[in-house]
Amino acid sequence: MWFGELPITECSGCILAHSQVVGSERVSKGTVLDLKLIEKLRQSGCEALTVACLDADDVEENLAAQKLAQVFTGSGVHVEAAHTGRVNIYASVDGLLEYDRATVIATNSVSPNITIAVVAPDQWVLAGRMIASAKIIPYGVPSIDLKKAIAAASAISVHQPKTTTAALIQTVLPSIKDKVLGKTERVTTQRLEVRQSSLVTQQRCDHRIDALSAAITKVSESQPDMILIVGASAISDQCDVIPAAVESLGGQIKRVGLPVDPGNLLMLAEFNGVPVLGLPGCARSPKHNGLDLLLDRIVCNVDIADEWLNGLCIGGLLSEAHDRPQPRVAAKTSQESGVAALVLAAGSSRRAGKENKLLHTYNAKPMICSVIESVLASGVVDSLVVTGHDSDRVTRALDSYDIQTCHCPRYADGMAHTIAAGLSRLRQYDAVIVCLGDMPHITSGVIDKIVASQKNIADKIVVPIHNGVRGNPVMFGRTFYDSLLQHEGDSGARFLIKQYPEKVVEVETGDESVLKDYDTPEALQQLGSE
């Protein structure tokens, strides 16, 4: 393909590289120029055009993208028509997305002009979701390159779940409460239902090899498609109670332990041709864990090979469950008790107009200073200000205060990045109270009331209210740090309040300051008169 500028009289049959306006009409880039169109452009005063001219063995961008996308289209997938050298690929059913990573990489390795981008494999996708996009970068590519790319490709498929049944066995010890067993049953039922599977039978038995062997034999009479076993204690070895019970019946232990967390302590076995899963303790929680990855494949009748299991290590460090301890800490000294304050001062103040609202004068000093003074006068054990927009000026405004600052380079990508930048430096504490820099009326007393409201704060989210309305600042226990550090976007930390309503504690402050922030020119003008 040739690309460059030509006199307009020599452009017949070429492809317009950049859009042109002719009177009230717009000629889009990618248009093949004919004599009639060339004459229109010439009469409008155009003397030369930037164009692409395909060689005899080139394949036009739309045709090339369509051919490439068709090779990647497997079961449960459909493609749309090509446009501007792009073809998007969509899931046509709910199910498990699967493809060979190596072939996708091989296709992209043929030429930088031929690309295929795909969402991560081995995840549950819903019908209608875009899962891949084939894009030809220039206006055409050599047919030999396209043939090589197609030869390297293999199908992307979405495997629809079949209707399956499961048996659940829970072993018990005197220390296991009935409400724990009941919750496990409910969570397991829900976990199966979203995969078009259901519990057909369940048993409870003592946590002994003989008792469990009898329970497995009993539930097998219902001919379930899988047997799920939740032990009263975790599986620590292939000779432990659950694997030993399966083997005592002639079953085969395929694996004990997964490179996934949460979900390490999982057993995969087979008894009479039926998959038997010894579940990790985290399976009592609805939070995504290693069990979900295996269930997806079982209900979709996709092979669970050792190579796939070993590959789970990549991306296998999953988000923490709120009701599961944080990752094991080598020594208690790496944690510190108490609550730290995280002050957000990174926003660009777009709604406030040209002025940086944090530097708006209030009580003869920048507004952010009032927040800092309240934080420093409170009982928090440590404090940190995260800056972003106008960082130098905000930092200078805080020079006279004994408080740490850090800069968030990605502040424009959303509040979540600002929180993560600060939290990464405070995560040794039991909890962090997130204070907004545009709430100058918040007092040290309000902060102390929120902090003192809970003795055990590690797994709590404490939200101040006034007359039943929720406000700020909000305190988050260390259990939620992992989720906050991974979150993206401009929703801040509020998503956790929606995700874990049972962990939210409301504290009536009796102070309307928890509802008052200042982020518009009108509000700032009002602040100046207060």
241 alpha carbon, distance to own chain's centre: 36
CATH code for the domain of 94: 3.90.1170
Q: Say yes or no: 344 and 392 in one domain.
A: yes
Query: Considering the chain, what is the average pLDDT of its residues?
Result: 91
Q: Say yes or no: 145 and 204 in one domain.
A: no
* Average pLDDT, integer, range 272-298: 94
Domain range for 352 is 332-526
Confidence of residue 409 (pLDDT cuts 50, 70, 90): confident
Position 322 pLDDT exceeds 80: no
Strands, E assignment, 2-75:
2-7, 15-16, 20-22, 25-27, 48-53, 58-60
Q: Say yes or no: 257 and 393 in one domain.
A: no
Confidence of residue 325 (pLDDT cuts 50, 70, 90): very low
Q: Say yes or no: 155 and 170 in one domain.
A: no
> Which tokens hold the place of 325?
């301890």
Strands, E assignment, 361-494:
361-362, 365-366, 382-387, 404-407, 429-436, 461-466, 469-470, 474-477
> Which tokens hold the place of 427?
């995560």
Distance CA 101, CA 155 (A): 11
Q: Say yes or no: 420 and 521 in one domain.
A: yes
Q: Say yes or no: 458 and 360 in one domain.
A: yes
Confidence of residue 321 (pLDDT cuts 50, 70, 90): very low
State pLDDT tens for residues 86-141: 999 999 999 999 999 999 999 999 999 999 999 999 988 888 989 999 999 999 99
Percent pLDDT > 70 in the chain is: 95
* Average pLDDT, integer, range 352-358: 80
Domain assignment present for 32 = yes
State pLDDT tens for residues 7-29: 999 999 999 989 898 888 888 88
Residue with tokens 């981008």, as numbered in its chain:
117
Distance CA 39, CA 25 (A): 14
CATH code for the domain of 379: 3.90.550.10
Neighbour tally for 253: CB within 10 Å: 18
Which domain-ending residue is among 140, 159, 178? Answer: 159
State pLDDT tens for residues 175-233: 999 999 999 999 999 999 989 899 999 999 999 999 999 999 999 999 999 999 999 99
Domain count, the chain: 4
Q: Say yes or no: 104 and 122 in one domain.
A: yes
Which domain-ending residue is among 159, 185, 209? Answer: 159
Percent pLDDT > 90 in the chain is: 72
State pLDDT tens for residues 202-214: 999 999 999 999 9
Inter-CA distances, 205 with 2, 10, 16, 142, 397, Å: 75, 85, 74, 67, 66
Domain assignment present for 450 = yes
Distance CA 284, CA 281 (A): 6
Residue 205 — left, alpha, or beta (φ > 0 → left; ψ -120 to 50 → alpha)?
A: beta
Confidence of residue 328 (pLDDT cuts 50, 70, 90): very low
Q: Say yes or no: 70 and 34 in one domain.
A: no
Domain assignment present for 90 = yes
Which domain-ending residue is among 131, 159, 187? Answer: 159
Position 335 pLDDT exceeds 80: no
Q: Say yes or no: 213 and 260 in one domain.
A: yes
> What is the structure's pLDDT at 329?
36
Bridge partner residues of 90 (DSSP): 78, 130
Distance CA 262, CA 94 (A): 25
State pLDDT tens for residues 31-84: 899 998 888 888 888 999 999 899 999 999 999 999 999 999 999 999 999 999
Residue with tokens 């001219």, as numbered in its chain:
53
CB contact at 8 A, 39 and 104: no
Which helix (H) or strand (E) element contains residue 142?
A: strand 140-142
Radius of gyration of the chain (CA): 30
Residue 22 CB partners (closer than 8 Å, separation 6+) = 40, 41, 44
Which helix (H) or strand (E) element contains residue 267?
A: strand 267-271
* Average pLDDT, integer, range 394-419: 90
Position 326 pLDDT exceeds 60: no
Q: Say yes or no: 170 and 302 in one domain.
A: yes
Q: Say yes or no: 258 and 402 in one domain.
A: no
* Average pLDDT, integer, range 331-351: 76
Q: Say yes or no: 183 and 284 in one domain.
A: yes
Position 332 pLDDT exceeds 50: no
3-state SS, 472-505, equals CCEEEEHHHHHHHHHCCCCCCCHHHHHHCHHHEE
